[in-house]
Amino acid sequence: MFNKQRHFCILLASIAVLGLSGCDSASQKQDTNTPVQVSVMRLAAQDVFISEVLPARVAAVRSAEIRAQISGIVQRRLFEQGAEIAAGAVLFQINPAPFKADVDSAAAALQRAESVLARARIQVARLDRLMHSGAVSRQTYDDTLSLRDQAAADVAQAKAALARYKLNLQFSSVEAPISGRIDQALVSEGALVSPTDATPMARIQQIDQVYVDVRQPASVLDNLRQQAASNAQALSVEILSSDGKPLGMQGRILFSGIEVDSGTGDVLLRVLVDNPQRRLLPGLYVQARIPRAHYPNALSVPQQSVIRSAGQASVWIVDAQGLAQLVAIETGELVNGEYRVKSGLKSGQRVAIEGIERLYPGAPVTPRSWQRPLASNQ
Query: pLDDT tens for residues 79-113?
Result: 999 999 999 999 999 999 999 999 999 999 999 99
pLDDT tens digits, one per residue of 233-269: 557 899 999 998 999 999 988 875 567 777 787 888 8
Q: What is the domain partition of the chain in residue ranges?
A: 34-48+296-377, 51-61+205-292, 68-93+173-199, 96-171
For position 186, what pLDDT does the model report? Answer: 94
User: May I ask the CATH architecture of the domain 96-171?
Assistant: Orthogonal Bundle (1.10)
Q: Where are the alpha helices (DSSP H) in the chain?
A: 2-33, 97-133, 138-171, 221-230
pLDDT band at 135 (very low <50, low <70, confident <90, very high): confident
pLDDT tens digits, one per residue of 323-346: 999 999 999 888 888 899 999 999
- Provide mean pLDDT across the span 165-184: 95
> DSSP letter string over 1-42?
-HHHHHHHHHHHHHHHHHHHHHHHHHHHHHHHHSPEEEEEEE
The closest alpha carbon to 286, from 220, 225, 237, 232, belongs to: 237
Q: Is the pTM higher than 0.75?
A: no
34-48+296-377 and 51-61+205-292: same fold?
no
Tell the burial category of 309 from Cβ atoms under 10 Å away from its Cβ (0-12, 13-18, 19+).
exposed
Q: CA–CA separation, 372 vs 370, rounded Å? A: 6
CATH number for the region 51-61+205-292 comes to 2.40.30.170
Mean pLDDT, rounded, of the chain: 85
Domain 34-48+296-377 has CATH 2.40.420.20: yes
Residue 313 has pLDDT above 70, yes or no: yes
User: May I ask the CATH architecture of the domain 68-93+173-199?
Assistant: Beta Barrel (2.40)
CA angle 53, 57, 63 (to 5 degrees): 150
The amino acid that residue 222 corresponds to is D
Q: CA–CA separation, 296 vs 47, rounded Å? A: 4
